[in-house]
Amino acid sequence: MGYENVKFAEDAVFLVTGGAGFIGSNLVEALLKKGHTVRVLDDLSQGKQSNVDMFLDNVNYTFIKGDIRDIDRCLSATKGVDFVLHQAAWGSVPRSIEMPLLYEEINIRGTLNMLEASRQNGVKKFVYASSSSVYGDEPTLPKKEGREGNLLSPYALTKATNEEYAKLYTKLYGLDTYGLRYFNVYGRRQDPDGAYAAVLPKFIKQLLDDEQPTINGDGKQSRDFTYIENVIEANLKACAASSEVAGNAFNIAYGGREFLIDVYHSLTKALGKDIEPIFGSDRAGDIKHSNADISKANKMLGYDPDYSFEKGIEEAIEWYRNEYNE
C-alpha cells in the first residue's frame, strides 16, 4: 500500500518535467522527502514558481528553466539522470480544440524530444503522463487498456501519439517507458482559477467565495476522480517496475465512479454552503462517463491506491481552506 516502501539507490537522480505544475510539484516533494536528488525542467507557462519555492533551500533540488520544445535543453537536463517523470504538457480538452497546432508542438514534439534525450543519455526509466482521454467515444465501462474508441480532441490525440512513440522507443531502442493514463487527478496545489481550471478545485474555491458554480451539462456525467497521493504512488512504482512490462500504458485511478451532481452536493455539505449550481451547456470533446479498470496497473506495477474519493476530497478541502484563509 502507498509508496513509502518503494526504494531506489541513495544516489538516484530524478528529473521531473513540468515540476512546477500541480502533479509535478507533488512528485518533487515526495522524492525530496525520500532524500533523492531531483531536477525540475519547466518553462513556467503552466506551472507556478510558487509551487516549488519551498524546495529552494534543499541541496538536492535544482530548477532548470526551459522548454521541452528545445532539444538542447532536454539533452542537458537529462544528463546523469536515472529516472524521468515526464509531466510537462498543456492540458485541457476545450483549449486544445482552440489551439491544435500548439498542442502538437508541446505535447507531441516536446515528448519526442524528451524520449530522444533520455535515450541518448542512458536514462533507466521514462515514466510519462498519459490521459483517460485516449479512450475517446468507447462507451464500455470500466475503461480497459486495449479497448479504445475514436479520439474526441487534439489533446487526446497528443496523448495517444505519445503512447505510440513511447512503445516504439522501448521496442526499437530499449528505453524502458511506462505510460500512466491519469483519470481526473485532484488535490493540493491544483489551480482553481482560469477558464480551463479542473472542476473540483474550481467548485471548492467558488463555494468558499460564496459564488454560484456552473456545471457543464446536466451533472449526470460521471468521473473516476483520482487523488494526488495515488498518482505519486503510480509514478514511483513505475520507476521501480520490471523492464518486462516496459512499453505499456496503465490506467491510474481509484476505480470508483462519482456523478458530478452528487460530488457537487457533497462539496456544499462539507463546506456548509447552501448554493444551487447553474447548469451550462456540454463541453465539446468531453467524455460523458469515465471509470477505470486498474487491474493491469495492480498486476504489473503493484499499484494499490490508498485514497478513495471520500478520503482524498477531505484532504483537498482542508488544503484549499487553509490556502484561501477560510
- The identity of residue 75, as a single letter, is L
Point out the catalytic residue in the list 61, 155, 254, 303: 155
Alpha-carbon distance 153 to 272, whole Å? 37
> What total of structural domains would you count in the chain?
1
**pLDDT tens by residue, 37-66:** 999 999 999 999 999 999 999 999 999 999
In-domain check, residue 313: no
Whole-structure pTM value: 0.96
**pLDDT tens by residue, 268-305:** 999 999 999 999 888 777 778 899 999 999 999 999 99
In-domain check, residue 240: yes
Alpha-carbon distance 17 to 13, whole Å? 13
Q: Which three cell numbers stand for residue 28?
A: 518533487
User: Which pLDDT score is estimated for 283?
Assistant: 77
In-domain check, residue 50: yes
Compute the mean pLDDT over every residue in the chain, rounded to the nearest whole number.
Answer: 95
In-domain check, residue 261: no
Average pLDDT over residues 240-245: 98
Given a cut of 70, is residue 119 above it in pLDDT? yes
Helix (H) or strand (E) segment spanning residue 176: strand 176-182
Q: Let me know if 155 is a catalytic residue.
A: yes
Q: Which three cell numbers stand for residue 74?
A: 532536454
Nearest to 154 by CA among 50, 248, 285: 285
Q: Which three cell numbers stand for residue 283?
A: 463541453
In-domain check, residue 29: yes
Which distant-in-sequence residues (6+ apart) come within 8 Å of 160 by Cβ? 134, 148, 151
Print the domain residue range for 50: 13-186+228-254+293-306
In-domain check, residue 272: no
Domain with 238 in it: what CATH number?
Answer: 3.40.50.720
In-domain check, residue 151: yes
What does DSSP say about strands 226-227 and 176-182: parallel, antiparallel, or unpaired? Answer: unpaired
3 state SS of 86: strand
The pLDDT-based confidence of 324 (bands split at 50, 70, 90) is confident
In-domain check, residue 326: no
Average pLDDT over residues 9-38: 97
**pLDDT tens by residue, 134-175:** 999 999 999 999 999 999 999 999 999 999 999 999 999 999
Q: Where are the alpha helices (DSSP H) in 47-198?
A: 71-78, 93-98, 100-103, 110-120, 154-173
